[in-house]
Amino acid sequence: MSELARIRSVGVYTPAFRIESESFADAWGQFDPPGIESKAVPDADEDALTMAAAAGRRALTAAGIDREAIDWLGFATTTPPLAEGALTSRLASMLGVPERARTQTFTGSTRAGTQALLAGSSFETALVIAADCPQGAPDETREHAAGAGAAAFVLDPDGAAILTDHGEYATPSPGTRFRRRGSEHVEEIDIGSYERRAFTETISAAAASVPTAGVTAAAVQAPDGKRPYRATAALDVASDAIRACATVHALGDTGAASVPLSLARALASGDHETVLAASFGSGAGADVLRVEVSDGDGVMSDCAVTGERTLTYPAYLRRRGAITTSGTDTGAAYVSVPSWERSLPQRHRLVAGQCPDCNDLTFPPEGACSGCGELVAYEPIELWTTGTVETVTSIGRGGAPPEFAEQQARAGAFGVAIVRFEHGGNTVSLPGQLTAEAAVGETVVPVIRHIYTQEGVPRYGVKFTPHTAHR
């Protein structure tokens, strides 16, 4: 058996919001994409980068390895928050991946997730994350299908899942899924037979060199709930193998994260010894991977999928920003880019300081110690754990600072809390936004979200979400 890479752990993140297909049917008189019952919807402060951070942290925690061991970080998405600009280095900062680690971004194709996974196989210990949230025009099939989610994989020599075989193929198929320069909307030329042929023939050619014997789960690219099952003959697998790990029926079209999400689901279940993964990207190209799970405890995972908050169609349009105006690009509380950059450890990982003399905690870790009053060199302490809400208030329409006006318009009133954290018998309290309602005394956990955009640059930082909602 050949060995290209080993998968040690997987992590999955999906937004809490869902919208049912019936809501689209009620609004438009029909729901075009077949086989989708509901789809995941990002909140107003979520995007591909924040979802990637959540999935990546889960995979790292499940793996139980030191983040300093990560040699390479790959980030795959077709919906980067910036068309040009380093994003993977920001992701590394959010996750605490060492600055010496190599980073790489994969984009421009729904095949990007498997391309990142293959690229990561060249390194000793790698973290591969695919996250996506495609969009289409409001009245088109692509928008009705468009979902959201992220999957992350830690590749390590001790991993239980072995990537044994890989086949790829590319051929010109212009007009299949594409996105125009400067547009947020995915399009296709809508010639069904042409698109289906490009899909099945390209995947079939990529699969020609990959053995399929023994496969019980197949993660296949899913722009809708019907297309992946057209690949059964091309992959020589049963439709039950695709259904065994398909995520499209509940999450919708998750773009570059489609195959990674299904692969993660198959590996996390512990029910499959051999899994096939087949991605397809317009252009057109395909990757087919065979993964075998060795004897032992299996792949470590944190793949909890939430979805307890159902949206109406008008509320969905608000969160998509389809019926709200954009907010101001500069905030009343102006923070320069250099000042923001200096505080990234606090904003990305809640790094506080512990006094070496009295052990008191200070956040941010600067100035005199609040406990003993001495100017000291603080020991960095990461407070990424559960906290307790001490006070809470709500910011509604007209009350939000200018930089948060767009978030308020899209998501409604939001909570702001003072949260107490404990470490080594000492406590420190700090303010932050809430992503959902939380009462005084309730336990919350930190999450990475979009804070606001200033001078054209999206800024990210910690918010807090109720611990029960986090799972």
User: What does the pLDDT look like over 4-62, one tens digit per residue?
Assistant: 899 999 999 999 999 999 999 999 998 889 999 999 999 999 999 999 999 999 999 99
The CATH number covering residue 142 comes to: 3.40.47.10
Q: Is 80 exceeded by the pLDDT of residue 303? A: yes
Q: How many CB atoms lie within 10 A of CB 34?
A: 13
Per-residue pLDDT band at 285 (split at 50, 70, 90): very high
Q: Which domain holds residue 428?
A: 337-348+383-470
Strand order in the sheet with 426-433: 426-433, 414-423, 387-395, 443-454, 457-466
Beta strands in 45-200 (DSSP E): 72-76, 102-106, 126-132, 149-155, 161-173, 178-179, 186-187
Together in a domain, 193 and 309? yes
471: DSSP letter = -
The answer to whether position 176 is within a domain reads: yes
78: DSSP letter = S
The partner residues of 5 in beta bridges, in order of sequence, read: 163
Per-residue pLDDT band at 333 (split at 50, 70, 90): low
What distance, in Å, lies between the first and last C-alpha atoms of the chain?
37
Q: How many CB atoms lie within 10 A of CB 18?
A: 23
**Tokens coding 138:** 């409001």
Give the burial string for 224-241 (b: 16+ CB within 10 Å, else e): bbebbbbbbebbbbeeeb
Q: How many CB atoms lie within 10 A of CB 340?
A: 15
Q: Distance between CA 388 and CA 421 in Å, rounded?
A: 7
pLDDT at 127: 98
Q: Distance between CA 456 and CA 458 in Å, rounded?
A: 7
Q: Whose CA is closest to 451, among 469, 433, 438, 429?
A: 433
What is the average pLDDT across 85-110? 96
Residue with tokens 């591909």: 48
Q: Distance between CA 43 and CA 408 in Å, rounded?
A: 11
Q: Whose CA is closest to 11, among 48, 61, 66?
A: 61
The answer to whether position 263 is within a domain reads: yes
Q: CB–CB of 309/40 below 8 Å? A: no
Q: Whose CA is closest to 372, among 353, 389, 359?
A: 359
Together in a domain, 392 and 420? yes
The answer to whether position 110 is within a domain reads: yes
Per-residue pLDDT band at 335 (split at 50, 70, 90): confident
3-state secondary structure at position 132:
strand
Residue % of the chain over a pLDDT of 70: 96
Q: Distance between CA 313 and CA 316 in Å, rounded?
A: 5
Together in a domain, 223 and 276? yes
The answer to whether position 274 is within a domain reads: yes
**Tokens coding 300:** 């470590």
Q: Whose CA is closest to 309, among 454, 452, 469?
A: 469
Together in a domain, 443 and 414? yes
What is the average pLDDT across 421-439? 95
Together in a domain, 250 and 397? no
Higher-confidence position of 283 and 90: 90
Q: Distance between CA 245 and CA 282 in Å, rounded?
A: 23
What's the total number of domains in the chain? Answer: 2
Measuring CA to CA, how many Å separate 137 from each of 186, 301, 322? 8, 36, 10
The answer to whether position 396 is within a domain reads: yes
The amino acid sitting at 29 is G
Residue with tokens 């318009």: 409
Together in a domain, 342 and 280? no
Residue with tokens 């200096």: 342
Q: Is 50 exceeded by the pLDDT of residue 330? A: no
The answer to whether position 378 is within a domain reads: no
3-state secondary structure at position 259:
helix
Together in a domain, 152 and 260? yes
What is the average pLDDT across 209-215? 94
Together in a domain, 119 and 166? yes
pLDDT tens profile 342-396:
999 999 999 999 999 999 999 999 999 989 999 999 999 999 999 999 999 998 8
Q: Whose CA is closest to 164, among 283, 277, 15, 10?
A: 277
Q: Distance between CA 100 and CA 85 in Å, rounded?
A: 19
The amino acid sitting at 282 is S
pLDDT at 402: 76
Together in a domain, 45 and 107? yes
Q: Is 90 exceeded by the pLDDT of residue 295? A: no
Together in a domain, 279 and 342? no
The answer to whether position 377 is within a domain reads: no
Give the burial string for 299-336 (b: 16+ CB within 10 Å, else e): bbbbbeebbeeebebebbbbbbeeebeebeeebeeeee
What is the average pLDDT across 393-412? 81
Together in a domain, 305 and 342? no
pLDDT at 71: 96
Together in a domain, 343 and 461? yes
User: With the C-alpha atoms ordered 175, 178, 184, 189, is the resulting torsion angle positive or negative?
Assistant: positive
What is the average pLDDT across 172-181? 90
Give the burial string for 81-104 (b: 16+ CB within 10 Å, else e): beeeeebbbbbbbbbbbeeebebe
The answer to whether position 436 is within a domain reads: yes
